[in-house]
Amino acid sequence: MRSEFELIARYFERRAKSAVLGVGDDAALVRTSADCDLAISTDMLLEGRHFLPGAEPRALGHKTLAVNLSDMAAMGARPRWATLAIALPADDEAWLAAFTQGLFALAEREGVELIGGDTTRGPLTLAVTIFGEVPRGKALLRSGARPGDDVWVSGELGGAALGLAYLQGRVNPMPDDAREACKRLDEPEARVALGERLIGIAHSAIDVSDGFAADLGHILERSAVGATVSYDALPRPEAFARLKRPDLERRCVLAGGDDYELVFTAAPEARPRLAALGVALGLRLTRVGAIESGAASLRVVDAEGKLVESPGGFDHFRRGA
């Protein structure tokens, strides 16, 4: 059995590239770029709450970092460094090898360095703190939405929730659709490049972790504005058209968590730039509604303008605690 220090050295220590000092000392050292603000965010994943018991460790390593990258994306920040606090029930080296493989593959792809953390025994818990850089004073905030802005969504909504519903035996999509939905759930892609490119274009942004309606709701509250969104315009996987389960579809699209797409607002004048940006990134960007003055409430309407009931998003202290 290896000691805690051997496990750290073997699985978490890498030669520092951009950090002044990485894993191995009492603290890491980083030097931030001039003319940048440091964006800092922490996200925690608990077994049985954020992922199903027995989750495949390589995908879990990917997701642990991806959910944190998504917060950088939502700020328009370039992710640079991360720390990982991990509680492990046992020193299962095959598990650690696969987990760190998933984590480091994504970290290298996104140019993020793991510079420290903490390792302890306990119920499987993963907490990453991520540090990113954003041009000074230019970060994308939840509070910047203005009446008249368009509301935009990247990618597709509801895929991860469909994957979860499938794994829980609540729905039975075609095999290819099920596979794609599970991939959305297990290995989300944070929209980092999009976030960075939205600086100077978007007025506000958030990532969809708790569900579209809930997360757009945060923008509305922080910006003290309302919004009307077209339900039919919301981009979603084609699997839903084949399923013909309209209630489940509505719950997944409006309230499904874990998609890690970006919801953002921008002036109508930005439409051509956003169309070009979507093409440049090979990422679908869809205009789904508009910001209005007035109470911070979201109206989701169908093609006839009738209100679509919008189920709430996930809140750890309201539901299923």
Whose CB is nearest to Mg ion?
118
Strands 226-230 and 298-301: parallel
Q: In the complex, what is the shortest distance from the CB of residue 103 to ligand ADP, in angstroms, rounded to a whole number?
A: 9
Binding-site string for Mg ion from residue 17 to residue 36, where x marks contact by CB under 5 A and - marks none: --------------------
Strands 113-121 and 78-88: parallel
Residue 114 near which of ligand ADP, Mg ion, none (CB within 5-8 Å, type-dependent): ligand ADP
DSSP string, 99-120: HHHHHHHHHHHHT-EEEEEEEE
State the DSSP H helix or E strand holding residue 252, giving kind and residue range, or none if neither.
helix 246-255
Provide φ and ψ at 185, rounded to 5°: -70, -45
Binding-site string for Mg ion from residue 118 to residue 137, where x marks contact by CB under 5 A and - marks none: x-------------------
Residue 198 near which of Mg ion, ligand ADP, none (CB within 5-8 Å, type-dependent): none
Which is nearer to ligand ADP, 23 or 206 (by Cβ)? 23
Q: For binding to ligand ADP (CB under 6 A), which residues are involved?
A: 8, 12, 23-26, 84, 86, 114, 116-119
Q: In the complex, what is the shortest distance from the CB of residue 140 to Mg ion, in angstroms, rounded to a whole number?
A: 33
Q: In the complex, what is the shortest distance from the CB of residue 21 to ligand ADP, in angstroms, rounded to a whole number?
A: 9
Q: In the complex, what is the shortest distance from the CB of residue 84 to ligand ADP, in angstroms, rounded to a whole number?
A: 4
Q: In the complex, what is the shortest distance from the CB of residue 77 to ligand ADP, in angstroms, rounded to a whole number?
A: 21
| Of residues 67-126, those binding Mg ion (CB under 5 A) | 118
Please count the other Cβ atoms lying within 10 Å of the Cβ belonging to residue 318: 9
Q: In the complex, what is the shortest distance from the CB of residue 36 to ligand ADP, in angstroms, rounded to a whole number?
A: 23
Calpha distance 186→137 (Å, rounded): 34
Calpha distance 191→284 (Å, rounded): 11
Please write down the long-range contacts of 169-177, taking CB distance under 8 Å and 24 or more positions apart: 170/248, 171/243, 171/245, 171/248, 173/239, 173/242, 173/243, 174/239, 174/242, 177/237, 177/238, 177/239, 177/242, 177/243
Which is nearer to ligand ADP, 8 or 201 (by Cβ)? 8
List residues near Mg ion by CB under 5 A: 118
